């Protein structure tokens, strides 16, 4: 993680004083005191920045847009449940994390060992630090254990006055339902039915596994399927593709090459697919009114309130 990571201080593990021939090492003593002073200065600087950000977000909140998430379907959350977010964070219910930093974390684990850098570290009996604002429950204890941690985040950009969503690598991923034609990028992940398709753009010459890099050159398209009955298949399409999956529509999606770029469309001939074509959100994605996304077994509809 980057700026959403918890701050971890690394202090010295040695004693404050060392003894040499019965005398304290004054150099080490001064060095340790200096380290303590620097650590305190760093702590004060972080606290000052946090307080400035908190004050700014609180000033922006009354006039900034808000986000309302509606649970469309879920295995564990009530259908129709509303989750409201503003510039300061979660407002429809009490945030479990209780921090105002413009980010709302969703996941299946509430606490970690205090001071731990990794929010997915094992919990202990030592003091804990809450890492999620909204905890998504699970009916299966084993799944809940495997998916403990932060699943995704909603982040308010105080400069742009917009919200962004991003997957954080725990669980089955966060995917947005495709509404408009999408230019395919190297290593993009597409979800249709039970299958996940990894996109690779390849050079015209050389090793077929060499990822395409030059933006102005024509790229060959390679698709690799994971999950579902067709898992493991590698496709370099120059004709129609069939994926054996009962959840897919007859014409689930189609791809066109236009001016050197491969473009993905949901459905065919203006007829959308039944269950949708979904795009993995491994980078910040701007949220918009009417957007639909899913995380594990829950589908959300997004409403931007202005």
pLDDT of 262-284, one tens digit each? Answer: 999 999 888 999 899 999 999 99
pLDDT computed for residue 4 by the predictor: 36
294: which 2 tokens? 């899913």
Q: Residue 3 and residue 53: Cα distance in Å, rounded?
A: 13
Q: Is the pLDDT of residue 126 over 70?
A: no
Q: Is the pLDDT of residue 25 over 80?
A: no
pLDDT computed for residue 281 by the predictor: 97
Nearest to 186 by CA among 155, 214, 165: 214
| 206-236: b (≥16 Cβ within 10 Å) or e | eeeeeebeeeeeebbbbbebeebebeebeee
Q: Residue 43 and residue 220: Cα distance in Å, rounded?
A: 51
177-204: pLDDT as tens digits: 999 999 999 999 999 988 899 999 987 5
131-161: pLDDT as tens digits: 899 998 888 777 777 778 899 999 999 999 9
Q: Residue 299 and residue 306: Cα distance in Å, rounded?
A: 23
Where are the chain's structural domains?
175-280
pLDDT computed for residue 33 by the predictor: 59
Overall average pLDDT of the 214-236 stretch: 71
Q: What residues contact 165, with CB distance under 8 A and at least 6 apart?
A: 152, 153, 154, 155, 174, 176, 281, 284, 285, 287, 293
Mean predicted lDDT score pLDDT of the chain: 80
- Tell me if 82 sits within 8 A of 69, measured CB to CB: yes
Q: Is the pLDDT of residue 121 over 70?
A: no
282: which 2 tokens? 């491994």
Q: Residue 183 and residue 201: Cα distance in Å, rounded?
A: 12
Predicted structure pTM score: 0.76
Overall average pLDDT of the 279-303 stretch: 96
Q: Is the pLDDT of residue 71 over 90?
A: yes
pLDDT computed for residue 259 by the predictor: 87
């Amino acid at each position: 993680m980057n700026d959403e990571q918890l701050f971890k201080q690394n202090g010295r593990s040695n004693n404050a004083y060392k003894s040499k021939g019965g005398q304290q090492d004054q150099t080490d003593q001064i060095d340790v005191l200096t380290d303590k002073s620097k650590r305190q200065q760093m702590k004060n600087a972080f606290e000052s920045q946090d307080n400035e950000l908190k004050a700014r977000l609180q000033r922006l909140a009354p006039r900034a847009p808000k986000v309302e998430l509606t649970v469309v379907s879920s295995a564990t959350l009530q259908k129709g449940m509303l989750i409201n977010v503003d510039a300061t964070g979660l407002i429809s219910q009490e945030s479990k994390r209780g921090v105002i930093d413009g980010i709302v974390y969703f996941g299946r684990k509430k606490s970690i060992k205090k001071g731990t850098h990794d929010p997915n570290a094992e919990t202990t009996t030592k003091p804990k630090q809450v890492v999620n604002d909204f905890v998504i429950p699970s009916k299966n204890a084993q799944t809940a254990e495997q998916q403990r941690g932060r699943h995704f985040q909603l982040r308010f950009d105080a400069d742009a006055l917009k919200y962004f969503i991003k997957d954080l690598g725990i669980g089955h991923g966060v995917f947005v339902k495709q509404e408009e034609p999408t230019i395919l990028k190297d290593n993009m992940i597409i979800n249709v039915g039970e299958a996940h398709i990894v996109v690779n753009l390849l050079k015209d010459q050389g090793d077929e596994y060499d990822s395409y890099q030059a933006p102005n050159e024509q790229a060959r398209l390679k698709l690799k399927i994971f999950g579902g009955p067709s898992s493991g298949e590698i496709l370099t399409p120059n004709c129609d593709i069939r994926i054996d999956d009962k959840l897919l529509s007859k014409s689930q999606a189609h791809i066109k090459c236009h001016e050197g770029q491969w473009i993905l469309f949901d459905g065919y001939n203006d007829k959308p697919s039944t269950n949708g074509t979904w795009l993995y959100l491994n980078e910040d994605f701007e949220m918009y009114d009417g957007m639909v996304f899913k995380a594990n077994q829950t589908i959300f509809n997004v409403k931007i309130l202005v």
